[in-house]
Amino acid sequence: MRTSMNLPDALLEQARAHATATGRTVTSLVEEALRKLLAEHSVEARAPRVALTTDGMPDGRLLIDVTDRAALWAELDRA
């Protein structure tokens, strides 16, 4: 798809110089930059990861029975 953008002259000059130096087009640089920016914001928008307890008791018992769905949800709600 074709589009028009208004960019500061200095920025466009830098982009053209970089594209020439790396054997690429300005379009490919803009596309890569947009993809990286959008991917970065996509990751930030995800729900934060919850750290679950992974250690057991000294006697070998686990702190949570992974087959007990209610216990798992209770641990997640507590975190």
Could you report the per-residue pLDDT of 40-65, keeping only the tens digit for each?
A: 877 666 667 777 666 666 676 667 77
Q: pTM for this one?
A: 0.52
SS3 (DSSP) at 74: helix
Count the alpha carbons within 13 Å of 60 in the hemisphere toward its beta carbon: 0
Identity at 43, one-letter amino acid code: V
pLDDT digit string, tens, across residues 14-41: 999 999 999 999 999 999 999 999 888 7
Rounded-to-integer distance, Cα 54 and Cα 37, Å? 34
Side chain identity at residue 63, one-letter code:
L
